[in-house]
Amino acid sequence: MAEFLYRVGRWSARRAKTVIVAWLAVLVAAGVAFALGAGTLATTFSIPGTPTAEVTDRLQSDFPDASGGTGTVVVQSADGEELTAAQQDEIAGLVADASEVDGVTAVMDPFVTEADRATQQQQVEDGRAQVEAGRTQLEAGQAQLDAGRAQLEAGQAQLDAARAQAEAAGMLAQAQPQLDAQQATIDQGLAALETQQTALDDGASQLEEQSAQLEQGATLLDMASEIRMVSEDGTTAIVMISFTDPQMEIPQETKDELVSVFDTAPADLEVHLSADMTMGAPSIIGAGEIVGLLVAAVVLVVMLGTLIGAGLPILTALIGVGIGALGALSLSGVVEMASVTPVLGLMLGLAVGIDYSLFIVNRHRRQLKAGDELHESIALANGTSGNAVVFAGTTVLVALLALNVTGIPFLGLMGTVGAACIAIAVLIAVTLTPALLGLVGERILSKKERARLAGTAVGGSGAATRGAQEAQGATSAPAEIRPMSTGWAVVRVVVGIAALLLVALPALDLRLNLPDGSTEPHDSTQYQAYSTLAEKFGEGQNGTLLVVADLPAVEAGSEAEAAVDSMTAQVEIAQTLFDQEDVVAVAPIGTSEDGTVAAFQVVPAEGPTSESTEELVHTLRDMSPIDGTYEIGVAGSASGNVDISEKLASALPVYLAVVVGLSLIILVLVFRSIFVPVIATLGFILSYFAALGGVVAIYQWGWLGGVFGVESPGPILNFLPTILVGILFGLAMDYMLFLGSGMREAYAHGAPARIAVVQGVRAGRSVVTAAAIIMIAVFGGFIFSHSAMIRPIGFALAFGVLVDAFVIRMMVVPALMHLAGDKAWWLPRWLDKILPDVDVEGASLERRHPHEAAGAAEAAPEDDLDKDTASVRG
């Protein structure tokens, strides 16, 4: 690979315009693809197969009316007073306009809804009064029946006495006709009374059934009493919007059109749209990101000493991220892509693009100052540092692609897009960077450096000059370089590890979820909607749950009987749900056409990201089947976020194990050691958890919230820990590679193990320091993004790079290797024999290509890249 990159670098330097035009053509093609194929980015996340997804899928098939998502718009009077009749009419106009938007099934007028609720409550009260009146009438009728029965019974007694007297007097035969006639009259009276009693009993039974149904309705109204559409003080109203598509699939175009409708609200109304309505795609680049780039530019100027040298890595990185971001967005029309995905690619492309180009530029500058010929220096830099760049980029790429093993589609796509941006950055580094270096020539050096180089050039070759310098350095190295003291090494290890363990402690309290309106900036409409709902209607109104229950199949019978049975089941289920702790209100939404599925809205006591709401989701699921009869499922945004967070948390250990295993294999190949890969990997794990600890302390606990713009601490973005593993692993391997390979090379050339540690750190610390600062600056620019999802990702990456580069790689690892001495490079013989020789730094390339004198290579004919490639294969 080193030989191939050497030839690629030389060819690119000599065909600079061709290479530059080719990459610009690729950039233009990516722009055209974006213009033609870009679609809408998803602002919500879903994972197939989760309990929430299963319930949603079932609703779509069995109860489509209840499967659509919902949105919330909060409307207040601008003066804080009770909404007037005129303002209510204005809200009604907005409701009418919103109901015309494509993809909207219904928009609830809050005042009509409250009027309907009041009507229902009045109907209940009127019904109760009618029931009481009916009972009074029934009681009066019963009293009359009882009186008539008493009279008939008294007549029967008299008739029986008369019959007895007639029989005693021997006059029964003569009195029999008269007695029978009287008996018939009494029997007829009693029969009439029984008929009346039956009618009275039927009336009482019907009245009790009506009373029971009435009380069931009253019970449902009472359980739903806290679900108000107009606040108690009358100053605030909620406009609920129902969509055709499920919550996770609502088109952004539909949301945008609704936002436009409510933007036309009159000045006397304040309108706030909730996060589920306005959580649009974050901007690709903002002020913070530009500041990060400026900091990176300053670092490059300080390190390289020229504006051209500083601008070249930034230019190549911008071209790379332009291709990567536009290419990714061009696929958003056919692939469901989360809004954070292209931003993540931008982060990575900028950071590694600058660093990878810097490594090659820095090596080329060093060789030029040593007297190497221009094109030979470019080729050699590409074959050595470029080879390390390819290897380092490959580790990041593989780690990101490994996100697909989690089985989570949106996370796998993030990893794939990020990996594509890394691949583009590597390709640009090893082709466009040499081309630009060839174009700028010796201007990559400052005027002083060029003057110094011209003054020292006395006809000797660059190889001879550098050879003399290296010989002198080799002779003087043992006298000048001293290993660190063992006591100081112990102090470095103890202090470094203790500090990171302390920083990592908050990670033990890590809570995962997706951001909601409470985490948005306080001046945003999302936060205003969230806080207003919490204040006026209760915090749980921001995260209602959808509970779906299976009802028994309807048996043969009348529709009235079926309706009664269905109502009874709904009341029983709703009452059970309402009786649970942390449930504020329950309201039935309706039943499916066949009566086998019922849906309920459940309002929790706290917001969607609270621990109590998360526990409530699990409690409700564990209750199924209710009373051993009714199977239930839970859905809704809050439920979906809980499921996604748990799915990600369960996938994290597997992914971390894959990355750790990959780390060990790669490092064993590179360093041909057991000790070095183990401490390097353990260091990565420590820096990873330290980064998580910092994220929890700031974004979940709220420490230093004013510094980082955290106005409302809350749970951590649920996919952040997983995405952090892949990215931080790749970057940690970069730094370990550029520091550790210097140690390995010095040790392999005969330097004592502890001297080799110092030589390796000295050789790589300047470029690693600059690269790390650039990474921190680029990632840090995203800390102040307007998006609540981007901010913690930017901080986690910036802080992770900070602790890994400066604490683990430059402080702890060298100290541990000093303490291990020669044992640090121990490798079993059997393993040494089977491992391939991975020449990451291209040391063998330098031995194969002696550095020609200035001008010698200029006379040689230009090589064709295809011929070079063929010669390599030969």
3-state secondary structure 418-451: HHHHHHHHHHHHHHHHHHHHHHHHHHHCCHHHHH
CA distance 83 to 504: 51
Is the alpha carbon torsion for 446, 452, 457, 462 positive or negative?
negative
- Taking the model in full, what pTM does it have? 0.79
CA distance 544 to 469: 73
Judged on CB neighbours under 10 Å (0-12, 13-18, 19+), 727 is buried
- Centre a 10 Å sphere on the Cβ of residue 803 and count the other Cβ atoms it contains: 25
Q: Residue 125 corresponds to which tokens in the numbers above?
A: 């009260």
Instruction: Give the dihedral of Cα atoms 263, 264, 265, 270; nearest 10 deg.
Output: 30
Contact 461, 853 (CB under 8 A): yes
Q: How does DSSP classify residue 826?
A: -
Please spell the DSSP secondary structure of 597-638, one letter per residue.
Answer: EEEEEEEESS-TTSHHHHHHHHHHHHHPSBTTTB-EEEESHH
Q: Residue 781 corresponds to which tokens in the numbers above?
A: 């620019």
Contact 423, 445 (CB under 8 A): no
Judged on CB neighbours under 10 Å (0-12, 13-18, 19+), 202 is exposed
CA distance 105 to 757: 69
Q: What is the pLDDT of residue 557?
A: 55
Helix, coil or strand: residue 70: strand
Residue 152, Cα to own-chain centre: how many angstroms? 83
Residue 100 CA: distances (Å) to CA of 259, 330, 367, 804: 13, 31, 69, 55
At a CB cut-off of 8 Å and minimum separation 6, what does 336 contact?
42, 409, 410
Contact 805, 768 (CB under 8 A): yes
The residue count for the chain: 874
Q: What is the pLDDT of residue 337?
A: 80
Mean pLDDT, 10 residues at a time, the chain of 874 residues: 84 92 94 83 73 85 81 91 93 93 92 91 90 90 90 88 85 84 88 89 87 87 91 93 82 85 91 77 61 80 82 91 89 79 84 87 86 86 84 83 83 89 93 92 82 63 45 42 89 96 95 81 85 91 90 65 80 92 91 86 91 92 88 89 87 85 82 90 93 95 88 86 86 82 82 91 85 88 81 92 94 94 90 77 64 40 38 32
CA atoms within 13 A on the CB side of 131: 17
At a CB cut-off of 8 Å and minimum separation 6, what does 279 contact?
43, 44, 526
Q: What are phi and psi of 458, to 5 degrees?
A: -120, 30
